[in-house]
Structures are given as structure tokens and as C-alpha cells.
Amino acid sequence: MAKKQYLIVALLLVFVTIFWGGNAFAARDDLIVAAAQKSQNLDFYQSTARTDIQISYLIYDALFERDPKTGKLKPHLVTDYKLVNPTTWEFKLRSGIKFHSGNPLNAECIRFTINRVLDPAFKSVQAANWKWIKKVEVIDDLTFRIITDGPYPIALQRLNTLFPYDPKWVTEMEAKHGKQYLSRHMNGTGPFKFVKYIEGDRLELVRNDDYWMKGYPKFKKMTIRFIPESSTRLAEVLGGGIDVAMWLPPDAIPTLEKNKNTKVVEVPILRVAFWQFDGDARGGEKSKPLTDVRVRKAIWHAIDRKAIFKDVLGDHVDLVNIPNNPVVLAADPTLEIPEYNPEKAKALLKEAGYEKGFKLAIWTWNAMYLQYMEAAIPYLQKVGIEPIIKDYAGRWSDLAPLLKSGKVWGVLHSSWGSFNVFDPDAIYSYFFMYPEGPYVYNKDPELNKWLHEARQTMDKEVRMALYKKAQRRVIEKAYWIPLFVEHAIHGANKKLNYELGSDQVPRFKYAYWSE
């Protein structure tokens, strides 16, 4: 049904676009982008939503920046850095950089940021990302040291999303307006300045004319609209109402390619999609069947992944058999997912005492995943399982608190972009490591031990061996069904030039219009 509605709207907009002609696509000095999710929280450290990561790169600068072509990190807010000893990193900040408030960026800003995020009273949803930091020492105005609680091999990768707070501004604004002020307001050192936020609707920005990277950005104004419905995003970009429609499903591509004013921007990304079982019955009695590994494996055998990929997603995803993206450290190519075999699925269910089947909730927050779920329904019904679709498409900010509090029962169809960290730790730490991980629904002491050991050694070979064991454990115990590596698919104005990295971050601060 969702796919049919989507196609009808898309076809209607083709005619609208033809009628409008080229006038809607005249070059201008602003940029309008449609995000697929609404903001979870404008305070970066209180959000796990991809939209808020993308927004933060526009308002803030990180200590390191990733080259979209090579994928390599390069210094951004820092100019120099060194590993003093296995648990001490030293960094030098660029001089003369100011926040949008006019306050200077200095080493104390870094200490304030880390202390705030690690403060239990702050209750950061990203605390697991930063608990490796023991303390920050300020050496002088521009020099600081990060002291870790042990060797931490992915420190620099994590600093790709360390966006400094302005301590003076934060303190003053929270004293005046309350602790929730930063959830709706922003102040960074980045290319765009905050103007206005209408929750669930849009975020309005203006160029930072004092930006330290001279000549950027090229636009005077930028607007981010929150449009969860993929059909509406497609309709808007076809009709010229927006310049970029982010995160479109694969079946939008033919329509975009037929339109003379739009183009497809497609890149394989770090994000991996999966089904997570509630193997601990954290969501309650309704999840009890999933505590039996035979039931979890039966669901594997019940679904023909390859057929669904071919029919629904085409060539715009890459099939995976491991929990993390194969481009990161220690991917094991020998692992295989159990084959499609409905008779074996029925036999396993009978053996586990569920011959008559049971009801199974499947939760998601993404329209493309919803298409996959709808395609999986008849496969599950064939073996006696009755799916209940929990549709939170475009509303990760609503689903995330339920997931964190243990209220998601059955199966979660989700994905993880790893906070732009190209390392297995970035995905395992959220879903399998405890007590750190907020979304752990399959507690496994042995797996947990391996993951903590891998996090605390600088020996690459040791880390690889541990992560390969971890991957095999997840598959053998059927905690997840790994699905696919996603391709980020954007529909864009043909005259707009910008790069989209494998980290799923569009480099809009470098974007420009063609004549």
C-alpha cells in the first residue's frame, strides 16, 4: 500500500514539474533540503538521530573532518596532535576561531564539553561514545590533553564528532531560559548560524560571514525541512519546492532520472540495516518465544532475503552476512546466514513448542525498511507467525526512547550509521556491550567480554581476532539478522553541486550552484 501511494504521488508530480518548467529551478543564494527524520534534539549530545548529526556539521566544527573522497580523517579545529603515551593524547587548536556568539574557542571549551557529556546528571544518550575519556587537561589557551582510562584505538575517529560547546553561552542561556534551551537552540563555530527552529517542521540557518574557512559557504541562507514521508520528499524535489530530498528509497530513482531538472546522488555508506531480536524478552512476555535460539533461527529460515532484495531494493543495497559494515576492521567473509528453508523453519518452531505460531511485532522508523517488512509478511505467515507492524517511519526521535527503556518487543528493523566511526566498536557498543550500550536486547557475557577487550587494546591483530569471534557469536546465536549495507540516495536539483560521503554526511558547506 505504501509503495502504491508513493508511486501515485510521484507520477502526479512529474506532470506538475513539466507544467512549471525551468522557472522553479533558477539559481539563487539559498538552499532548501528535506531531511527524512525530524530532529530528536538540537543538542547533539542528546540525540542519536542521523538528521541531528547532519545538522551539527552545519552549525559546529569537529576536531577532525573526514575527506569524502578518501574516507581519511584530517585535522579541522585542531592543527597538531600527538600520542604522548598509550593513554594520553595532546592537541593544539586553531587560533582566532570564534563561536557565533562572539566568544572565543579555546581549550577550556573542550574540557567543558567532555565534562558536561560525561556528567551523569546530564544523562547524555551518547555517553557510551565518550566513556573512554578519563579527563581533559588544559595545558594553555589552545593546548589540551585527553587522558583515557586505558589504551583506546579509535580515539581520533570519535573526535570526528566532538563538537565543542561555548561554555559562557551555555551557562548564561541555561540560567536564563532553563536546561532545555539547547534542545531548541544552537551556537557553534561552523559555516551556518542558527536563526529559527519550528519543531517537527523546519530549521532555518544563515551563513556565518565570519567563518574561518574563507569563501565558504556559498549560500546566504539554508533551510532544513523535516519531511518523514518519502513520497512527499520526492514530490517536493520534482516540483522545485526543495533542492535536495535526502534518504529516498530505490524505487524513486527512475522518476528522478526521467525528470529533466533533477538528478540522483547515490553513495554506498557506512550504515548497516538489520533485524534485532528481543532475545532477553526485555520488552515483556510477548517476546518470550524469541528467548529460544531455535525460534530466532526459524525466522531466519522463514524469510527469503535475496528475493526481497531483488524485488524491493534492486541493486541499491549490498547484501551482508555480518553485523557490521564489511569495509571496517575485521570483517569475516566466511560467515553465512542460514538459507531460506520454510520447512526447516516450521520444524524448528515445532521443536521449540510454537507449532501453532505466535504474534511478532516488527518495529521500524524508516519508509524503505517498511517496504522490506511488508514484503516479509507473507513469508512469516507461511510458517505460522503473525507480524504486527509498528510503523514509526521518520520518527526515530519517538522510537528511540521506547527502545532505550525496553518497551520494544519482538523485532526491531533498524540500521546504524556508527556515528561516522569506521570501526566495529561503534555499532557493537550500542547493541551488545553493557552496561554502556543503551539498546542491548541480547546480553551475552562472553560476547561482552570480547568487545571490552577489543576496545582496550591498541594491537590491531588482537582486535581483529576478537571482532571476528564477536561476529560469529552474533550469527551463531541468531541475535540479529544482518540485512544490507545501505546506499544513501538523494534526489537533487540538477544544478546543485555537492559531495555525499560514505559517512552519510552531505558536504553542503562546500556546495555551489552551476550557471
Answer yes or no: are the C-beta atoms of 64 and 73 closer than 8 Å: yes
493 contact partners, CB below 8 Å, separation of at least 6:
25, 237, 240, 243, 244, 261, 262, 263
Residue 435: CB atoms within 10 A of its CB come to: 10
- Which CATH superfamily does the domain covering 270-486 fall into? Dipeptide-binding Protein; Domain 3 (3.10.105.10)
- Which CATH superfamily does the domain covering 2-60+170-268+488-513 fall into? Periplasmic binding protein-like II (3.40.190.10)
C-alpha cell at 454: 577489543
Of the candidates 225, 266, 317, the residue with the CA atom closest to the CA atom of residue 506: 266
**For the chain, which residues make up each domain, given as ranges?**
2-60+170-268+488-513, 64-167, 270-486
CA distance 30 to 213: 19
Model-level pTM?
A: 0.86
Please state at what angle helix 460-476 crosses helix 445-455, rounded to 10 degrees.
160
CA distance 25 to 20: 9
CA distance 470 to 451: 7
pLDDT tens for the chain, residues 1 to 515: 445 454 545 455 544 444 444 444 455 899 999 999 999 999 999 999 999 999 999 999 999 999 998 889 999 999 999 999 999 999 999 999 999 999 999 999 999 999 999 999 999 999 989 999 999 999 999 999 999 999 999 999 999 999 999 999 999 999 999 999 999 999 999 999 999 999 999 999 999 999 999 999 999 999 999 999 999 999 999 999 999 999 999 999 999 999 999 999 999 999 999 999 999 999 999 999 999 999 999 999 999 999 999 898 888 999 999 999 999 989 998 998 889 999 999 999 999 999 999 999 999 999 889 999 999 999 999 999 999 999 999 899 999 999 999 999 999 999 999 989 999 999 999 999 999 899 999 999 999 999 999 999 999 999 999 999 999 999 999 999 999 999 999 999 999 999 999 999 999 999 999 98
390 contact partners, CB below 8 Å, separation of at least 6:
361, 362, 363, 364, 408, 410
Find residue 135's DSSP bridge partners. Answer: 147
Residue 355: CB atoms within 10 A of its CB come to: 12
Please tell us whether the domain made up of 64-167 is placed in CATH 3.90.76.10.
Answer: yes
